């Protein structure tokens, strides 16, 4: 059975980045998500902020892609950190993550 990940979907309007800089809209989205994280009792760490930036760039469709981009910024970010963050974002209703399973017979 092959497991295929569908893109992560934010429940906020898509952000736009220009030249690697976050747009005003993306900054506002980040503030909303940070507020939801604080309300749910999460600490706002450097790693979480980096992961939010990577996710809000909108170019990553899977946890693995998020990990690769984030680990280039901060080598201390591991795959477990990414998955925990995605789960937390799901719990607060900031993103949808859908997994699709496909059976392949050779």
Model confidence pLDDT, tens digit, residues 39-58: 999 999 999 999 999 998 87
Residue 92 is classified by DSSP as T
**What's the CATH code, domain 2-102?**
1.10.10.10
Note the pLDDT tens digit of each residue in 11-30. Answer: 443 333 333 567 788 888 89
Which residues sit opposite 18 in a β-bridge?
21
Q: Any idea where the domains of the chain sit in the sequence? A: 2-102
Task: Give the whole-angstrom CA distance, residue 49 versus residue 95.
Answer: 15
Q: Cα–Cα distance between 59 and 17 in angstroms, integer?
A: 10
pTM as predicted? 0.71
Helix ranges (H only) for 5-106 are 24-39, 46-56, 63-73, 79-91
């Amino acid at each position: 059975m092959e497991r295929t990940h569908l893109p992560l979907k934010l429940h906020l309007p898509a952000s736009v980045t220009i030249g690697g800089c976050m747009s005003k809209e993306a900054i506002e989205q980040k503030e909303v998500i940070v507020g939801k994280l604080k309300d749910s009792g999460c600490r706002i760490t450097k790693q979480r902020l980096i992961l939010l930036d990577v996710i809000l760039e909108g170019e990553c469709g899977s946890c693995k892609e998020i990990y690769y981009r984030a680990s280039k910024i901060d080598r201390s970010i591991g795959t477990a950190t990414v998955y925990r963050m995605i789960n937390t974002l799901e719990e607060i209703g900031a993103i949808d993550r859908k997994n699709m399973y496909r059976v392949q017979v050779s």
